[in-house]
Copies of this chain bind each other. A is one copy, B any other.
Amino acid sequence: MAESREQFLYDRVYDLVVDQIRAGSLRPGDRLPSLRRMSRQLKVSIATVMQGYTNLEREGFISARPQSGFFVNTGRDKSARLPSATSPRAIARDIKLSAFVLELLRTSRRPGTAPLGPANPSNELLPVRALARIMHRVVTRAPAAAVDYMEPQGYAELRRQIAYRASATGMVVDPRQIIVTNGASEALAVALRSVTRPGDTVAVESPTYFVLLQLIEDLGLKAVEVPADPVNGLNLDALEDIASRFSLAALMCVANFNNPYGSLMPDAAKARLVEIANRRGFRLIEDDIYGDLHFGPYRPRPLMSFDDTGNVVLTSSFSKTLAPGYRVGWLVVDRGREDMLSRKHNASISSASATQMTVAEFLASGAYDRHLRGMRRALKQQVDRMRHELLEVLPEATRISQPQGGFVLWVELPRGVDSIALFNRCLEQGVNILPGAIFSPTRKFKNCIRINCGHPWSETVARGVEKLGALASESAT
């Protein structure tokens, strides 16, 4: 991905204004600072401010009035209309969801559909050419190693790089604590299988990532949902109550940018969650796959960084940030490491060699952080833009999450909208979305959908949003 100093400056202008609109210090109808004043204030050129304002205008935040300057758009208030917090009933349930999800994902896999469904980053945001070059270099330099078995625990240099990066998130990780897996999914499967026995109960966020529910189903476990809210994630008082009534084997959660809410647990809540799990004696399995895609200035800390007892297992992968098709994920584990390594070995012996070698070399080159900076900026703009556009076209009572990282939006449509019917009608018209029903064991969230913002704004995306709007409005009446 191309990246320039100039772009960085436009974005500062852009971010500053959006933040002020959100905070309420710039309100609809307010005039923006003049180009000259902004230029002095931020110590950037007038052309740079102009470009930033143009971007803001394109994204619908502001409008230029001839001879008067730029003004904040009236429009609707974009920050207040968040989805409701959830309050599922505390019941440990068997899950029957996998066949439904698979059928739905298969149906939706049609070339040319507007990509608002599965949470995939656009290839345009990924360093595809750099990776191709590195893969070529790696397999040419060591053709035998590229076809040979890698050790089950994973390529040592890759584990060293992952451990090194973990130190930036407030943890000290020994490369020997890391097990490389086929994506985060295998990491989650290995971790969950290791800490549960069939029939056990596992707590999940409400709503939660459907693959977690499918894994629970696959292993013959029961799920109990924990209430959550779209800003701060898990409701810990509710969790305390649930943990006192159920014998939980584990809680699986995405503390950093929950999928689908985009919520971010505050540090104090993370510390309390770790304490609750230790006190109540259940394991924490955290999926930190979106952690590097923060919109704020700092990389949020994983739950694991608050734990000094080995009770947390962290899973992650490069599927959202680098190369979904490489299937390079990992888990970080202290307590139970041998058992998890054994289960990884049984699941697939080891992970592919060439992809591990390529990622390790990419990380070692220092290119990853540079890449992430650009990707985060792009995703933030895409998420903002998508939220803005959706609010324009969706029915009046619609509520949309305001994620602080990642690239999905959770959209709560008016009650009465059947999102599975909407999903089917959208598909017929070439638009891919995900219905809310797959994000809960009980297929609730019937009036919700999840929207992928992994793709830059384009004709296809715009048309998709427009059609979704029209169809959702029909459904709501």
Contact = CB atoms under 8 A, between A and B. Distances in A.
Interface stretch (A134-142, A248-256, A271-279, A400-408): A134-142
A120 to B, nearest CB: 6
A146 interface: yes
Give the interface size class of chain A. Answer: 35 or more
Q: Among A98, A193, A346, find the residue whose CB has the most chain B CB atoms closer than 10 A.
A: A346
Given A150-B325, A348-B185, A354-B355, A143 B120 contact: no
A434 interface: no
Contacts of A109: 151
A99 interface: yes
A347 B131 contact: no
Q: Among A217, A342, A348, find the residue whose CB has the most chain B CB atoms closer than 10 A.
A: A348
Q: Among A211, A323, A343, A352, find the residue whose CB has the most chain B CB atoms closer than 10 A.
A: A352
Contacts of A23: none
Interface in A97-119: 98-99, 101-102, 105, 109, 118
B102 A189 contact: no
Given A342-B102, A351-B182, A355-B354, A146 B132 contact: yes
Contacts of A354: 135, 325-326, 354-355
A325 B346 contact: no
A145 B99 CA distance: 27
A324 B99 contact: no
Given A347-B186, A355-B354, A128 B149 contact: no
Contacts of A135: 135-136, 139, 146, 354
A160 B107 CA distance: 21
Interface string A325-355: 1110000000000110111011111111111
Contacts of A343: 98, 218
A170 interface: no
A197 interface: yes
Contact of A123 (B148, B193, B215, B355): B148
Interface in A342-396: 342-343, 345-355
A24 interface: no
A182 B139 CA distance: 20
B102 A147 contact: no
A422 interface: no
A139 B132 contact: yes
A220 interface: yes
A398 interface: no
Contact of A214 (B136, B214, B346): B346
B218 A147 contact: no
Nearest to A216: B346
A319 B350 CA distance: 11
B346 A98 contact: yes
A349 B132 contact: no
B102 A123 contact: no
Interface string A234-253: 00000000000000000000
A345 B140 contact: no
Given A325-B149, A341-B102, A348-B185, A123 B136 contact: no
A319 B325 CA distance: 20
B185 A346 contact: yes
Interface string A288-320: 000000000000000000000000000000010
A56 interface: no
Given A136-B140, A193-B218, 20 more contacts: A98-B346, A102-B152, A132-B143, A135-B146, A145-B325, A147-B322, A150-B325, A182-B182, A182-B348, A182-B351, A185-B346, A186-B348, A189-B346, A198-B198, A198-B220, A214-B345, A215-B346, A218-B343, A326-B354, A348-B348
17 contacts: A98-B343, A99-B339, A102-B338, A129-B143, A131-B146, A135-B135, A145-B325, A147-B322, A148-B324, A149-B324, A182-B186, A211-B346, A326-B353, A327-B348, A352-B352, A354-B355, A355-B355
